[in-house]
Amino acid sequence: MVDSNPQNWRAADDFLAELLVGSDPALEAALAAQRDAGMPEIEVAPVAGKLLNLLVRMSGARRVLEIGTLGGYSTIWMARAVGENGRVVSIEAEAANAAVARRSIDAAGVGERVDIRVGRGVDVLPTLVGGFDLVFIDADKESNTAYLDWAAKLGHPGTVVILDNVGRDGEIINDATSDTKVLGTLEGLRMLSEDPRFDATALQTVGLKGWDGIAIALIA
Ligand code: DHB
Ligand code: MG
């Protein structure tokens, strides 16, 4: 038996990523640029990036909204999936992050498909025109309910909504938590449960990013 511990979760995740994702110079360059810029290495894992790419293609999404660009890693995965005439609007609060992402996305050859809007989500979202087919929320967890509300407003029946980081090392079942990221995550999950605009589920993940998870919802 292989022990279930974070080191082995990572090793198994590396195995799956090598097998099913493989080497990808543009994505690896985006991660190197992010690291060199001193940005946090909290992008989605390679297997999750590919999941985003597959979800965009499975749903036939042509207009994608991302909240939280960071270094553009997940943005590139989704921009590749929307097709030549598809578009990704990605919101990033930090101008310096957006500049790094812009260069990496252009270098990946999908620059014309990606519109990065610099500003806080709650300021940028009201300025967007709706009609998004898929929304990926991966920003400040404290604003998850605001982002979900905007996803519903800017989407349409059938829009796919993906919310990152819903496992948080199991802290979602710690009733005593005062961590605002966990509390924001829980509020987002409760909204997905109670708000009739969403039909949702969530999956826990272990791997490169420890013990975490993603929620996936369909807008009614
Ligand atoms: C954090 C944020 C993320 O989006 C992520 O994937 C992992 C961690 C964080 O802020 O702690
Ligand atoms: Mg995340």
Q: What is the dihedral of CA 180, 186, 190, 191, to 10 degrees?
A: 50
Residue 21: predicted pLDDT: 98
How far is the C-alpha of 173 from the C-alpha of 186, rounded, in Å? 9
Q: 101 CA distance to ligand 2 centroid (A)? A: 16
Residue 100: predicted pLDDT: 98
Q: 1 CA distance to ligand 2 centroid (A)? A: 31
Q: 163 CA distance to ligand 2 centroid (A)? A: 8
Residue 17: predicted pLDDT: 98
Q: 6-219 — its CATH code? A: 3.40.50.150
The 8-class DSSP code of residue 37 comes to T
Residue 54: predicted pLDDT: 99
Q: Is 164 in the pocket of ligand 1 (CB under 6 A)?
A: yes
How far is the C-alpha of 208 from the C-alpha of 185, rounded, in Å? 20
Q: What confidence tens digit (pLDDT) does each residue in 7-24 have?
A: 999 999 999 999 999 999
Q: What confidence tens digit (pLDDT) does each residue in 123-136 have?
A: 999 999 999 999 99
Residue 114: predicted pLDDT: 99
Q: Is 165 in the pocket of ligand 1 (CB under 6 A)?
A: yes
Q: What is the dihedral of CA 203, 155, 48, 196, to 10 degrees?
A: 0
Residues whose Cβ atom is located within 5 A of ion ligand 2: 138, 164-165
How do the pLDDT tens digits run along the chain, 220 residues long?
Answer: 999 999 999 999 999 999 999 999 999 999 999 999 999 999 999 999 999 999 999 999 999 999 999 999 999 999 999 999 999 999 999 999 999 999 999 999 999 999 999 999 999 999 999 999 999 999 999 999 999 999 999 999 999 999 999 999 999 999 999 999 999 999 999 999 999 999 999 999 999 999 999 999 999 9
- Ligand nearest to the CA of residue 171, numbered in listed order: 1
The residue whose CA has the least distance to atom 2 of ligand 1 is: 42
Edge-first strand order for the sheet with 134-137 is 114-118, 87-92, 63-67, 134-137, 160-164, 210-219, 198-207
Residue 75: predicted pLDDT: 99
Residue 61: predicted pLDDT: 98
- Paired sense of beta strands 134-137 and 160-164, if any: parallel
Q: Distance from first CA to last CA of the chain, Å, rounded?
A: 44
Closest C-alpha to 141, from 43, 35, 68, 65 = 68
Write the burial class of residue 37 (CB in 10 Å: 0-12 exposed, 13-18 middle, 19+ buried): middle
Range 159-174 burial, b when 16+ CB lie within 10 A, else e: bbbbbbbbbbeebbee
Q: Which two tokens stand for residue 79?
A: 């921009």
pTM score: 0.98
Testing ligand 1's pocket by substitution, the residue of 77, 165, 166, 185 carrying the most ligand atoms inside 8 A of its CB is 165
Residue 155: predicted pLDDT: 98
Q: Is 210 in the pocket of ligand 1 (CB under 6 A)?
A: no
Beta strand residue intervals within the chain, DSSP E: 63-67, 87-92, 114-118, 134-137, 160-164, 198-207, 210-219
